[in-house]
Structure formats: C-alpha cells, structure tokens
C-alpha cells in the first residue's frame, strides 16, 4: 500500500468514526427525551429520616433536596485528557466514560442544569453545578439523569453532609485531594455515638443522631464534608461562670480559656459554634449567640 492509499484508508476510518459518534449522540438525545416524557416519581425509600430539629424557616418547603456529592474541581481532581468532543456530561460518559480521573466525581458537563424542571441548578464558577435549595423541590429528576450518580436526595433539614461519592478509600488520594479516604477521623471526633460510620469505604451519616454541629466538617483531613449553614453561632460565657472548667475540658478546638475557679472566656476566632460547651455547662451560664438563625442554610 502506497502513502496515498494509506491516507485514503485513514480518511475513510475517520469519516466512519465521526458518523458513529454522531449516531450515538443522536440516540442519546432521543433516549433523554423519552425519559423526561415518561418520568417516574423519585424513589425516596432509602433517604435518611428527617430529624426532629428541622429548621422552622424551611418547614413549609418540600422535605427533600438534591445535593452534589463531589467537591472535586479540576484543581483538586484533574482530568485524564482534554475533552474536545461533546460538552454535555451525559454524552461524554456514553462516548468516552468521561475525562475526569476520579471515576466517582462530577464531570462538570452540567446535564443536570438542563433537565431540572425548576431551574434550581446552575453552572458554578468552579466548574461544578450549584443547587439553589430554595428552588429545589426534591423531584429527583437530576438524580436519575446524572451519569456518574453524584447527585442524591437527602432530607432538607441537615446542614452537614459528605460531599464525596468515592468508594475506593485511601486510593482516592491519587486522583482527588478532597475525596473521602475512609480514615475514620470523623467517626472518632464526632461527639454523638453512632452518628457517623464507615461503610463501603466512605463515611455515612445517620441523621437521626447527627445534630449538624459541624465538628466532622472542621476535623476532616481532606475536607470532604460540606456545611450548608449560612452562619454559625458562637459561645458566650456570662459573668455568673464559676470556673468549673467542664466547658474548657470538652472543647475540641481550644476555644475556651480560663483558670479554675475563675470566669472562663471564649476565643471567638476559634469557636465553631458546635454547642458542646452549652450542653455540658452545669449551671447554664453559656449562651449560643446567633443560634436561632444558624439553622438556615445558604
């Protein structure tokens, strides 16, 4: 075969490859349209129960919201290759499996933005979709359409959730710097027994026991958790403090200082508003400033 015949053969292969790719994209769009027309109600049978301490400001809204279980932007979770083909993540996944090195991460193609019937999802500046929970009605359409299954329905009231879908444990370090490694630091640091457990190589929260205190969010080594609280309260110790030291001994962030028998004080810059000192104070002289509003999510 001479050089001209070789080029001709390669041209034929390229044309056929292009036709196959076009056909796959065409069939994918037809399949999406069929799914939208024949959409079934979202399956919420496995959604965690809603705790009794649900924020009063959100009681009138639907009980479920969609959340993105991924924080891996391209700076934290690099791509395997530069994508010059379809930008829609569903099409990327069908054709190439996606270009993100983490096989559990969001592809950032924003297919969910287009399928959301309530315009509750928009393109984030970091290359990941952002969900407006004030508009999210928990219909589950985006959850069903997501090719990587990184969108999930959870109860609206919890403020803390694990923003990672990884199932490989410590191996995630090779492809994402903010992925859950199943190190169990969150389990050890959580003050509520049974609120967090390691299952399927990542952390899982039992929202019947979780109080959204935020300690796991603060202590997680790779920063895999996400805190939806708009603001956090801070502790304030009144003049009636007798200096028993219970709050100081309990604080996991060294945010309380003082000598035994003397009034203790809170270092506001270190306080995360978890409320543990408030819970343990035997004479109830600790106030959580801003606690009435912190349950509102951003």
What would the pLDDT profile of 92-101 be if each residue is shown by its tens digit? 898 888 889 9
CB 156 within 8 A of CB 147: no
Instruction: Report how far residue 169's alpha carbon sits from residue 149's, in angstroms, rounded to the nearest whole number.
Output: 18
Structure tokens at 185: 């630091």
Total number of residues shown for the chain = 298
Beta strands per DSSP E along 96-250: 121-123, 129-131, 151-155, 160-162, 196-199, 202-205, 225-227, 234-237
Q: What is the mean predicted confidence (pLDDT) over 18-31? A: 48
Residue 202: strand, helix, or coil: strand
CB 23 within 8 A of CB 86: no
Query: What does the pLDDT look like over 186-198, one tens digit per residue?
Result: 999 999 999 999 9
For the CA atoms of 14, 17, 19, 23, the dihedral, rounded to the nearest 10 degrees, stands at -160
Instruction: Report how far residue 251's alpha carbon sits from residue 271's, in angstroms, rounded to the nearest whole number.
Output: 9
The better pLDDT of the pair 163, 295 is held by 163
pTM for this entry: 0.75
Could you say which architecture CATH assigns to the domain 159-228? Answer: 2-Layer Sandwich (3.30)
Query: What does the pLDDT look like over 214-257, one tens digit per residue?
Result: 999 999 999 999 999 988 999 999 999 999 999 999 999 999 99
CATH among 3.90.1640.10, 3.30.565.10, 3.30.70.20, 1.10.10.60 for 234-289? 3.30.70.20
Instruction: Report how far residue 196's alpha carbon sits from residue 239's, in angstroms, rounded to the nearest whole number.
Output: 36
Tell me the domain boundaries of the chain: 23-35+50-157, 159-228, 234-289
Nearest to 262 by CA among 278, 245, 279, 246: 245
Does the 23-35+50-157 domain belong in CATH 3.30.70.20? Answer: yes
Asked if 23-35+50-157 and 159-228 have one fold, the answer is yes
For residue 139, is pLDDT > 80? yes
Structure tokens at 70: 């991924």
């Amino acid at each position: 075969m001479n050089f001209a015949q070789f080029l001709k053969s390669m041209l034929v292969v390229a044309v056929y490859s292009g036709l196959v790719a076009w056909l796959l994209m065409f069939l994918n769009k037809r399949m999406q349209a069929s799914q939208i027309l024949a959409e079934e109600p979202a399956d919420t049978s496995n959604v965690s129960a809603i705790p009794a301490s649900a924020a009063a400001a959100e009681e009138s809204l639907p009980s479920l919201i969609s959340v993105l279980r991924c924080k891996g932007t391209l700076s934290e979770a690099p791509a395997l290759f530069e994508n010059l083909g379809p930008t829609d993540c569903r099409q990327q996944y069908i054709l190439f499996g996606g270009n993100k090195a983490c096989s559990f991460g969001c592809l950032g193609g924003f297919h969910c933005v287009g399928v959301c019937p309530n315009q509750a999802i928009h393109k984030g500046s970091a290359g990941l979709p952002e969900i407006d929970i004030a508009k999210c009605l928990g219909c589950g359409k985006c959850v069903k359409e997501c090719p990587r299954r990184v969108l999930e329905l959870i109860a609206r009231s919890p403020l803390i959730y694990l923003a990672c879908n990884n199932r490989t444990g410590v191996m995630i370090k090779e492809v994402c710097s903010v992925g859950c490694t199943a190190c169990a630091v969150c389990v050890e640091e959580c003050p509520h027994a049974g609120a967090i457990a390691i299952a399927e190589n990542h952390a899982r929260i039992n929202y019947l026991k979780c109080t959204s205190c935020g300690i796991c969010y603060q202590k997680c080594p790779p920063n895999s958790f996400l805190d939806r609280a708009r603001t956090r309260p801070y502790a304030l110790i009144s003049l009636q403090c007798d200096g028993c030291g219970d709050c100081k001994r309990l604080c996991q962030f060294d945010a309380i200082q003082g000598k035994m028998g003397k009034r203790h004080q809170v270092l506001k810059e270190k306080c995360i508003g978890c409320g543990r000192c408030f819970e343990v104070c035997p004479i109830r002289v600790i106030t959580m400033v801003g606690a009435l509003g912190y349950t509102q999510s951003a």
